[in-house]
Amino acid sequence: MAVIDFILNLAGLLLWLNWRSARLDLAPVSRPASLAGILKRAEPRRLTPWHFLLALPFLLFLRALLYWQIGPAVDWVPSLKLGSVAFYFRSDLLPRALLFSLLSFIIVWAIFHLWLLLLSLINSGSVEAEPLQKFVRFHLGRLDRLPWPIKIVLPWFLACLLWLALIPLLARWEIIPLPVSTIHRLEQAGTLGLSVYLSWKYLLGCFLGLYVLSSYIFLGNHLFWNFVAVTSRNFLGPLRKLPLRLGKLDLAPLLGVALVFLAAEFAERGLTALYTRLPL
């Protein structure tokens, strides 16, 4: 069931991206080669961008019904991991299944935009990252033009607000214990807000791994591989000052991967320990 939930989250994210990307064109504009190239089809389009957006809440509602009907039969307990802490829901109650379906998608949606924000930070002002960086700018909108300190702090701030808004409902449904004070709520929000940055390790690890692979194996001249190379080089910029080359072997990407996952591991353990000790 967890795999089904993940696949349906990806389907929901694709519906969102299809709605948002209706006006986005990454390919360069070219002139039509013939008269047929400038002609438009006479029949109306069957699908519009709004169809994708309207299909998203139907997907979230229908899968909640699925979880409500099948979850108890297969003894499945839905769970969400918010950073360093996991929360569990009852699938035998429809309101709980609806809340889980909504929050599960929101987490995947938020992680996707967190990754875009990281790419915006790494490739800020990098002309070499075009045209795929245009995709990042389009989906971030005005957020892409914010100063870099605000880009870094904004995910923490929004995660804190979301947690503070969810606490009354989660506590009423006994998904989490009721915080003992307002200070306790703020401490929980601040701790879980810091946990959102842990998702960056997967994107960085993927990019650096692909960069190592493409450095030693020719995989073609596709725009994607150029984007991977430029992003990885920009991220590894501070390590380039160190003597990390042994002949033709570049150890900077391997060291970068090790540092990213080591820092994320220590951060996750620290935040988990801090959350269990709240209130301070």
pLDDT band at 46 (very low <50, low <70, confident <90, very high): low
Neighbouring CB atoms inside 10 A of 226's CB total 16
Query: What's the predicted TM-score (pTM) here?
Result: 0.86
Which range, of 85-89, 203-207, 213-217, 229-233, averages the lowest pLDDT?
213-217
Q: 194 exposed, middle or buried (CB, 10 Å; 0-12, 13-18, 19+)? A: buried
Phi, psi of 77 (to 5 degrees): -110, 105
Q: What local confidence, expressed as pLDDT, does residue 44 receive?
A: 53
Per-residue pLDDT at 218:
72
When mean pLDDT is compared over 43-57, 180-194, 216-230, the highest value belongs to 180-194
Whether the pLDDT of residue 250 is over 90: the answer is no
Contacts within 8 Å (CB) and 24+ apart, 210-213: 211/253, 212/253, 212/254
pLDDT digits over 145-183, tens only? 889 899 999 999 999 999 999 888 888 888 888 888 999
State residue 243's pLDDT score: 73
Residues 6+ apart with CB under 8 A from 139: 17, 20, 21, 113, 116
Contact (CB, 8 A) for 13 and 108: yes
Higher-pLDDT residue of 52 and 232 is 232
pLDDT level of residue 10 (50, 70, 90 thresholds): very high
Confidence of residue 29 (pLDDT cuts 50, 70, 90): very low
Amino acid 30: pLDDT? 46
Give start and end residues of each alpha helix (H) in 21-147: 49-70, 94-122, 132-140
Domain-wise residue ranges, the chain: 2-23+48-277
Binning pLDDT at 50, 70 and 90, where does residue 255 land?
A: confident
Quote the DSSP letter at residue 250.
E
C-alpha span between 112 and 124 (Å, rounded): 18
H helices, E strands: number in the chain: 9, 4
Q: Note the pLDDT tens digit of each residue in 186-207.
A: 999 999 999 999 999 999 999 9
| pLDDT confidence of residue 39 | 45
Mean local confidence (pLDDT), 16-27: 71
- Average pLDDT of the chain to the nearest whole number: 84
> For position 107, what pLDDT does the model report?
93
Question: What confidence category does residue 49 fall into, taking pLDDT thresholds of 50, 70 and 90?
Answer: confident
β-strands 249-250, 245-246: how paired?
A: antiparallel
Tokens of 21: 């990307």
